Structure 1
């Protein structure tokens, strides 16, 4: 299937579940304790990250969708830190502050990117806290398109049926990331996303693909689910639906560094895609792609919109070539998110010759990505006369896009590219020929925000106008 970036900015997703704070203490372990045969870690850094259902909400916000989170925290510093980090990321938090239980906190001690120890802080929640959370969640459904139940078995979702029925009465799809062996409590959800171990713990071992599919269909029917998405680690994902072919996608990860939070990424991308109007199959494919990105990161992590869009472009082969100004603005955002320097040049490029090729190769060396903006046909006629261009804009763009030095090609209708420059704000503006830096069109604007303006030379004895005159003489 062909993937495109969904309009996540139009999606609103409500997450309800077990929120927690993931704490990391980092340091060197260079000796063994004299008190016991354990490593001594000299802590030189720490990091706090939202975990559990909070990480799901963080992933949704990172994609550009609107995330609302309902969960239970303690009346403590960890709860305050969790709320602060989520709010800063754009997540709307509805937390029930428990007077009897702390914020669930997982402390991990690491050295040289290896986890040495994990310490958990948690206590059971009071029934009154769970009841208050459920009412907060039902109230929040009025502004939500999709509901996620993120169950980590900590007690926040002791009675998920109340939430599932409330959502279905409001025609809100329910995506469940399950926990434990009692899947019947999720009956009536839209889609459930167990990993293979969780699935087999309920249905028994699956020795063959046929057995997995048959048991999956049986479970889907028993639970009255629209779909069952089984995540299978290095074996990819399998989507089982009613009256539709089973869909299997291979894993996308090239390097697995840490699987922490991969399930959160899957459920957040799937739900956000559904909220943005995508099909279940497309949501699965996007979630599979995002999961391949997140397992290459250390610890609990979120996949951003630019990261996912870049991955889609690479997979679909749309990372380079001819683009509209709006498309180009989006891919530049992604490039900048990856720390790439953007170079911009412009011209008519009517007949591509050796001078152009050499110049564009030099221009590309000024940064990481090269944009070539060309005058459209009407603009060329105004600048060069009625006999030009020799080649129409579509052909000129196709030739330029085929050059290895060029990343993106865009056309403009004005006589100068100043409107494009204001939209794209490149890091480097390059011009070739007999110019000085202070006479380059748009140079003053680029310099105003700290960009560089550079002039490069064309190869000697190469001129489009000279080539055209020679053609006319012959």
Structure 2
């Protein structure tokens, strides 16, 4: 049985398959066309993202493993754009240029949060280009820890059975994300990853309580080691030839866009395996990565920072509490997209309406609200014993429950000056019991071009007053 494992020289994942450009055009809709009953969209911003096998490769690289992408492109502008995208993602692109052909492109027209239309430009792959790809494939297998085949039925993987046989002869584990409804194409793969609709199209419909049995039969019939079935809101199901069954519910907290979620799953799964994780643990990692991807608009590349942060939060009861180093990385990436960062701080020992209004108003000043939270020792020095009433873990969990708050970070000092120096927020917010000039870190923020503001207090609401009332 072929197994994926960490190479002593460092893991390398080879991704082979159909690539595409996902182009997004964003605009506003205010009227209906006089020519036909369709909305008129005034085009605004435009974004391009890597799709198909290129999205798989981008996710592999972003999760911290060296990746090479082998594919076929046309000799057009979309191929040039793809080359640039892969270079920025740190993916080594090995592209067979198919002269006179075009690269697959999907154009999505978005108004607000609604997709209005999608226009597809599909490629046509020649036999000569496929033959060149097959020759390059065998030459590229040296030092490869695993191969991911991303099949979108665009023609790059028409000869998939031959490619699987070459990899098997070299002892390289192969992972296939299938599209064409032909079970024989996937014979001998290490792992097949269909979604539920693909599984039923390949192996026949069956009731939910018979899926495991049907998958086991398919493993025997096709010489597969593992079947990983993605089931949307029902999560991920793994059935292995050795009898192992792993059933994981979805980890998604919110679903904004499922585009590319399958690419994320197979990328994160294989990354975990070549880094030495067990199959069950790698599936957990893939499940969490997918939950991150579907919470973002469009094709989203999940990074190692994204994944580490979500894993950290899961270990800390899904609070928004993150270490400073992780937070700095997150903020740096958010700023690359133009996000404005807001910071406020406090003990937040006994949460009341005044706190909630302060945080809501702070969030309105930007895109990301960070709350600096005094440690228990810091609160005790500032407020005296027996404060805090609520320990740090409880205070962090309560603050994390507020929709306005994006991140919580702890500081041990009496003031948050070191945090502010590290984060350099665009807006610094405190309550109205401060003047702007008396706020710790105000000079740091202003020197960086940011602004400082205060929010009026809510009369009669304070932790001290609340605790006093409880003591009466």
Once the two structures are TM-superposed, the CA of residue 409 in structure 1 deviates from its matched residue by 5.2
Q: Which runs of 5+ in 2 are unaligned?
A: 1-9, 364-368
Q: In structure 2, how many angstroms separate the alpha carbons of the residues matched to 1:269 and 1:17?
A: 17
Give the conservation status (yes or no) of the 8 Å contact 2:19–2:104: no
Q: In structure 1, how many angstroms separate the alpha carbons of the residues matched to 2:182 and 2:463?
A: 75
Q: In structure 2, how many angstroms separate the alpha carbons of the residues matched to 1:13 and 1:73?
A: 20
Q: CA RMSD in A?
A: 4.8
Q: Please state if 1:447 is matched with 2:433.
A: no
TM-score, L = length of structure 1 = 0.71
Once the two structures are TM-superposed, the CA of residue 426 in structure 1 deviates from its matched residue by 3.5
Q: Which runs of 5+ in 1 are unaligned?
A: 1-9
Q: In structure 2, how many angstroms separate the alpha carbons of the residues matched to 1:213 and 1:452?
A: 58
Once the two structures are TM-superposed, the CA of residue 216 in structure 1 deviates from its matched residue by 1.1
Q: In structure 1, how many angstroms separate the alpha carbons of the residues matched to 2:461 and 2:16?
A: 69
Q: Please state if 1:16 is matched with 2:19.
A: no
Residue number in structure 1 paired with 2:263:
264
Give the conservation status (yes or no) of the 8 Å contact 1:363–1:370: no
Choose the corresponding residue for 2:124, options 107, 122, 136: 122
Once the two structures are TM-superposed, the CA of residue 71 in structure 1 deviates from its matched residue by 0.8
- Is the partner of 1:222 in helix, strand or coil? helix
Residue number in structure 1 paired with 2:283:
284
Residue number in structure 2 paired with 1:302:
300
Q: In structure 2, how many angstroms separate the alpha carbons of the residues matched to 1:462 and 1:42?
A: 49
Once the two structures are TM-superposed, the CA of residue 63 in structure 1 deviates from its matched residue by 4.8
Pick closer, same or farther for the CA change 1:224–1:40 going to 2, 3 Å.
Answer: same
Pick closer, same or farther for the CA change 1:119–1:25 going to 2, 3 Å.
Answer: farther
Give the conservation status (yes or no) of the 8 Å contact 1:437–1:454: yes
> Which structure would you say has the larger Rg?
1
Q: In structure 1, how many angstroms separate the alpha carbons of the residues matched to 2:430 and 2:110?
A: 50
Q: Deviations over 1:175-225 (max 9, x none)?
A: 21123344444444321112334333333x232234432221122233333
Residue number in structure 2 paired with 1:222:
221
1:34-433 aligned at under 5 Å gives the runs 44=43, 48-61=48-61, 63=63, 66-99=66-99, 101-106=100-105, 108=107, 113-115=115-117, 118-126=120-128, 129-142=129-142, 144-160=144-160, 163-164=163-164, 172-203=172-203, 205-233=204-232, 235-250=234-249, 260-291=259-290, 301-305=299-303, 318-320=317-319, 324-326=323-325, 328-329=327-328, 339=339, 341-345=341-345, 360-361=355-356, 363-368=358-363, 369-374=369-374, 377=377, 390-391=385-386, 396-398=391-393, 400-401=395-396, 403-404=398-399, 408=408, 410-412=410-412, 414=413, 416-430=415-429
Residue number in structure 1 paired with 2:366:
none
Pick closer, same or farther for the CA change 1:450–1:145 going to 2, 3 Å.
Answer: farther
Q: In structure 2, how many angstroms separate the alpha carbons of the residues matched to 1:184 and 1:158?
A: 12
Q: Deviations over 1:220-251 (max 9, x none)?
A: 23333331012334554321113344233455
- Is the partner of 2:242 in helix, strand or coil? coil
- Is the partner of 1:58 in helix, strand or coil? helix
- Is the partner of 1:122 in helix, strand or coil? coil
Give the conservation status (yes or no) of the 8 Å contact 1:60–1:67: yes
- Is the partner of 2:127 in helix, strand or coil? coil
Give the conservation status (yes or no) of the 8 Å contact 2:12–2:66: yes
Give the conservation status (yes or no) of the 8 Å contact 1:109–1:117: yes
Q: Deviations over 1:122-175 (max 9, x none)?
A: 24231xx33443454455555654321112334433444665466567765422
Give the conservation status (yes or no) of the 8 Å contact 2:361–2:455: no
Pick closer, same or farther for the CA change 1:242–1:311 going to 2, 3 Å.
Answer: same
